[in-house]
Amino acid sequence: MISLDSIRTFMRAADAGSFSAAGRNMRLSASVVSYRVQSLEQHLGCLLLTRTTRRMNLTDAGRQFYESCVDVMAAVEAAEKSVETSGASPRGVLRVASPSLIGSRVVAPLIPRFRQRHSETTVHLRMSDRFVDLVEEAIDIAIRLSVMPDSSFTLRKIAHVERVLCAAPDYLAAGPLLEKPADLLHHSCLLLRFPGAEQFRWTLRSADETMTLPVSGPLDTDDGAVLTEWALAGQGIVVKPLFEVASHLASGRLVEILPGVQPESVTLGILYRSRKLLPNRAKTFISMATEEIRNYVEGELDLIGRRSS
């Protein structure tokens, strides 16, 4: 009999285009993925995937089998979720993505407590400041801090987050004149950069206008926490969510600049694919994470007497 694990592995390998990529996605070794696919091929008596040094492709038989498996796995997932949504205790695998700082400060400490209450769950946490594709990377819940585009996904808003321009006092004392937004073009701007990022263009709003500046600087990274450290070290100007730098603004290690000009605000929220048949493990985790993230943000903003909305 064909196992569901073998079917899942075959489908993930076909989607990813390689055993190693599928293995990383499933937290399995490439050899385990290869073994499961080969065992499936032996059971069916046909080749499902053609392998080259660069990529794998579905054979005609593999494509036909894959299309049939889509319906099978959808039925299995619906059956699992129908049981979970009927009041059963949370169980099963939950895949969570989070920005690095919130992930390390709030989400990672939350997970042991979540599992202590719900020991039949397994949680996979990915922390990155790039935007994770929920479908492509099989993510159930993504904590997002961004300008939220229109989407077919469901968003549970946690807070409206102001962002600020800030820098270390030493950098400002030694740097060029900074009196108006256009002066930023002559400064070292610290940039969050990854595929698809637009942080090298800063959109700023004043009472009279909105402007977008093509800022630049000698340093960029895909980790927002690193940008804060560079700003503290006097390496340039950074745009940050206010709560992320509130403690440094309170201590004077960073100074807010151009206070009459505000970077585009962002939404902090939890994104997931559908409200329909949302499993209990996801519902429970979303509820816990929403409360703890909101408390964390409010606690940081209290340091400077500000509130989120």
Q: Are residues 154 and 223 in the same domain?
A: no
| Residue range(s) defining the domain that contains residue 97 | 92-159+267-302
Same-domain check for residues 252 and 112: no
Number of domains in the chain: 3
Tokens (6 digits) for 80: 């699992």
- Does 309 reside within a domain? no
**How confident is the model over 240-271, as pLDDT tens digits?**
999 999 999 999 999 999 988 889 889 999 99
Report the distance separating Cα 36 and Cα 280, nearest Å: 30
Please check whether residue 181 is in contact with residue 151, taking contact to mean a CB–CB distance below 8 angstroms: no
Output the six-digit token pair for 11: 């489908």
Same domain, 18 and 97: no
When comparing pLDDT for 90 and 123, which is higher? 123
Crossing angle of the two packed helices 280-302 and 108-117, in degrees rounded to 10:
140
Among 54-58, 86-90, 172-176, 305-309, where is mean pLDDT lowest? 86-90
Answer yes or no: do 25 and 46 share one domain. Answer: yes
Average pLDDT over every residue of 79-93: 66
CATH number at residue 109: 3.40.190.10
pLDDT value for 1: 66
On whether residue 308 sits in a domain, the answer given is no
pTM of the model: 0.70
**Do 172 and 257 reside in the same domain of the chain?**
yes
Q: Is residue 178 domain-resident?
A: yes
Report pLDDT for 277: 59
Using pLDDT thresholds of 50, 70 and 90, give the confidence band for residue 172. very high
Domain-terminating residue out of 35, 62, 84: 84
As to burial, measured by CB atoms within 10 angstroms (0-12 exposed, 13-18 middle, 19+ buried), residue 219 is middle
Residue 297: pLDDT above 90?
yes
Q: Please determine, for residue 87, whether its predicted confidence score (pLDDT) is greater than 60.
A: no
Q: Is the pLDDT of residue 274 over 90?
A: no
pLDDT, position 208 = 81
Model confidence at 81: pLDDT above 80:
no
> 36 pLDDT band (50/70/90 cuts)?
confident
**What is the CATH number for 9?**
1.10.10.10
**199, 146: one domain:** no
Considering the domain architecture, whether residues 170 and 226 belong to the same structural domain is answered as yes
* Same-domain check for residues 113 and 138: yes
Average of pLDDT values for 188-210? 80
Q: What amino acid is encoded at 293 in this protein?
A: I
Q: What is the pLDDT of residues 111-169, one digit of tens each?
A: 999 999 999 899 999 998 888 878 777 889 999 988 776 566 788 999 999 999 999 99
Quick: pLDDT tens for 225-239. Answer: 999 999 999 999 999
Shared domain for 58 and 185, answered yes or no, is no
pLDDT given for residue 272 in this prediction: 87
Shared domain check, 195 and 144: no
The H or E element containing residue 199 is none
